[in-house]
């Protein structure tokens, strides 16, 4: 299986917000093949939330100093092309992350803004692995305790995974992968008991 562990940092959460950092880990059949941490300036019409900047510790000037989005897009496509044949409908990444639908939707929107309507050439639309969804399901059936919140930092801490630099996409996705691998093992045990 080809998994793209993906996390983004964005200018906010509105319709006019876009990612400025993409961090990913490409894992194929359980082996990490590549990690990437790509930053780009926001599009000129992007809404930039001060709250989002505060959470990540960035300034507007800092994120506007990053490379052009088109350069970042070309870097991402070059990486994806090493592992996926975009013309093969059966060769796609399964996206994994914590609340991964947010990162998926933001990346899809960003791809379209870069003039590419075919993010689905690289990733599956029908399945993903969302650590947040698994945790919530485990909480419902009593496998995982109810926590004060289900943020990545809280879940990682509960699993004994140290997370010192939350809200940097690269650091977050590495922690998410560790959480995800533990959850996958738990799911495998459940499957084997059936």
Whichever domain contains 100, its CATH number is 3.30.420.10
pLDDT at res. 48: 97
**pTM of the complete model:** 0.94
Q: For strand 2-10 and strand 93-97, is the pairing parallel, antiparallel, or unpaired? A: parallel
Q: Which residues pair with 9 in a beta bridge?
A: 21
Rounded mean pLDDT, 138-149: 95
The parent domain of residue 60 ranges over 2-193
pLDDT tens by residue, 15-70:
999 999 999 999 999 999 999 999 999 999 999 999 999 989 999 999 999 999 99
44 CB-near residues (< 8 Å, 6+ apart): none
pLDDT tens by residue, 104-132:
999 999 999 999 999 999 999 999 999 99
66 CB-near residues (< 8 Å, 6+ apart): 20, 39, 40, 41, 72
CA–CA separation, 139 vs 90, rounded Å? Answer: 33
- What is the tally of structural domains in the chain? 1
CA–CA separation, 118 vs 124, rounded Å? Answer: 11
The distance from CA 85 to its chain's CA centroid, rounded to whole angstroms, is: 21
């Amino acid at each position: 299986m080809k998994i793209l562990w993906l996390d983004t940092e964005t200018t906010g959460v509105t319709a006019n917000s876009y990612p400025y950092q993409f961090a990913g880990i490409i894992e194929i059949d359980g082996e990490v093949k590549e990690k990437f941490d790509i930053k780009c300036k926001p599009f000129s019409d992007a809404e930039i939330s001060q709250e989002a900047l505060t959470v990540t510790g960035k300034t507007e000037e800092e994120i506007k100093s990053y490379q052009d989005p088109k350069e970042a897009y070309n870097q991402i496509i070059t990486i994806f092309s090493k592992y996926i044949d975009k013309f093969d409908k059966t060769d796609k990444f399964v996206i994994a992350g914590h609340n991964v639908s947010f990162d998926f939707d933001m990346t899809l929107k960003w791809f379209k803004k870069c003039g590419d309507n075919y993010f689905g050439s690289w990733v599956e639309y029908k399945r993903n692995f969302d650590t947040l969804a698994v945790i919530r399901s485990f909480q419902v059936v009593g496998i995982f305790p109810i926590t004060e919140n289900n943020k990545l930092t809280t879940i990682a801490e509960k699993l004994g995974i140290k997370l010192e630099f939350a809200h940097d996409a690269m650091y977050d996705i590495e922690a998410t992968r560790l959480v995800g691998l533990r959850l996958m093992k738990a799911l495998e045990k459940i499957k084997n008991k059936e």
